[in-house]
Amino acid sequence: MSSNFLDGVIVPDQIVRDIFITAPAAAGAVFDCGQLGFMGLDIFIRNRGAAALTVSLNQQAAITVDPGGVYTLNNTKFWLVAIVSAVQYDFQLFGVKTTTLKARGLL
């Protein structure tokens, strides 16, 4: 289930990220940020394999990351990340906890 309840949140500039996930991996994965209790704002993926991998945010069209390539996105809210991969990659995701958003009156 998509965590699109985060779609209406207005994120102030320069909000401090108070959660991050680091996950070196070699298989596909889905991260539902809302289910994990936060809103994603920044992402980093480095493809360490010999084949391309794909990344989709919020169920939009997938982006291809070529072998040896890097994908980054900053200051953009997202709540669902899907990675399709059979190769090794490095993954970091940064965001703001929903409890922080509620405490600041943003959610």
pLDDT of residue 1: 43
Measured distance CA(99)–CA(70) in Å, rounded? 31
Ordered by start, the domain boundaries in the chain are 14-98
pLDDT of residue 3: 58
Measured distance CA(24)–CA(15) in Å, rounded? 26
CA 96 to each of CA 2, 14, 82, 93: distance values in angstroms, whole numbers, following the listed order: 17, 11, 19, 10
Structural domain 14-98, CATH architecture: Sandwich (2.60)
For the segment 24-39, what is each residue's pLDDT rounded down to a tens digit?
787 888 989 888 899 9
pTM: 0.85
- Give residue 44's pLDDT band: very low, low, confident or very high (50, 70, 90): very high
